[in-house]
Amino acid sequence: MTARIGILTISDRASAGIYEDKSGPAIAGFMQRVLTSPWEPVVRVIADEQDLIERTLIELADEAGCCLVCTTGGTGPARRDVTPEATEAVCAKMMPGFGELMRQESLKYVPTAILSRQTAGIRGRSLIVNLPGKPASIEQCLMAVFPAIPYCIDLIEGPRLETDPALCKAFRPGG
């Protein structure tokens, strides 16, 4: 079964074409390198509007059937940064450990890591994970949390994700 992975860039400027989106492609590049089981991306680039973010997350989870949705951008303290609020609004369960670990890892690179309110949560059979907007943060954050993602997706009855253990070893308790 081909796993669908949502890649959602949330940026006023990238969505308006003011700069090229580099963070969405960085998420796709990470998946391409790390996943050895079949997967396909479902890509969206939108502005920092809470209603639109919520509708797009619902579409990716419920209609496109993505087992994992990675967002990038809109996690900071600025007036238009509302990605965590939209994520909480559409999720039945929050998974605060993801944000905790990603901020801890990001602190190794930038002291402003604590400005990201990035979080994660479960909607139906989808895991939604927020990443910061900076392209360099994508690899740093995903490398930290990805070992736990395949088992999380097992637990929400999604497809079995396999990784290249030389790059990122998925941990499944008892197997």
Ligand X SMILES: Nc1nc2c(c(=O)[nH]1)N[C@H]1C(S)=C(S)[C@@H](COP(=O)(O)O)O[C@H]1N2
8's CB contacts (< 8 A; 6+ apart) are 24, 43, 44, 45, 46, 53, 56, 57, 60, 69, 70, 71, 72
What is the maximum alpha-carbon separation in the chain?
48
**Binds ligand ATP (CB under 6 A): choice among 3, 5, 7, 14:** 14
Q: Is 109 in the site for ligand X (CB under 6 A)?
A: yes
Q: Is 117 in the site for ligand ATP (CB under 6 A)?
A: no
Please tell me what DSSP assigns to residue 63: I
Q: Is 50 in the site for ligand ATP (CB under 6 A)?
A: no
Cα–Cα distance, 159 to 64 (Å, whole number): 14
Q: Is 104 in the site for ligand X (CB under 6 A)?
A: no
Q: Is 140 in the site for ligand ATP (CB under 6 A)?
A: no
Q: Is 84 in the site for ligand X (CB under 6 A)?
A: no
Q: Is 75 in the site for ligand X (CB under 6 A)?
A: yes
Q: Which stretch binds ligand ATP (CB under 6 A): 5-13, 60-68, 91-99, 160-168?
A: 5-13
Q: Is 76 in the site for ligand X (CB under 6 A)?
A: yes
**Binds ligand ATP (CB under 6 A): choice among 6, 7, 9, 116:** 9
Cα–Cα distance, 7 to 10 (Å, whole number): 10
Q: Which of 52, 72, 66, 83 is nearest to 124 (CA)?
A: 66
Q: Which two tokens stand for residue 153?
A: 């997706």
**Binds ligand ATP (CB under 6 A): choice among 6, 73, 121, 159:** 73
Sole residue written with tokens 């639109």: 52
Q: Is 84 in the site for ligand ATP (CB under 6 A)?
A: no
Q: Is 159 in the site for ligand X (CB under 6 A)?
A: no
23's CB contacts (< 8 A; 6+ apart) are 9, 11, 14, 72, 73, 131, 133, 134, 135, 137, 138
Contact positions vs ligand X (CB under 6 A): 73-76, 81, 106, 109-110, 112-113, 115-116, 132-134, 136-137, 140-141
Contact positions vs ligand ATP (CB under 6 A): 9, 11-14, 19, 21-23, 48, 72-74, 76, 81, 133-135
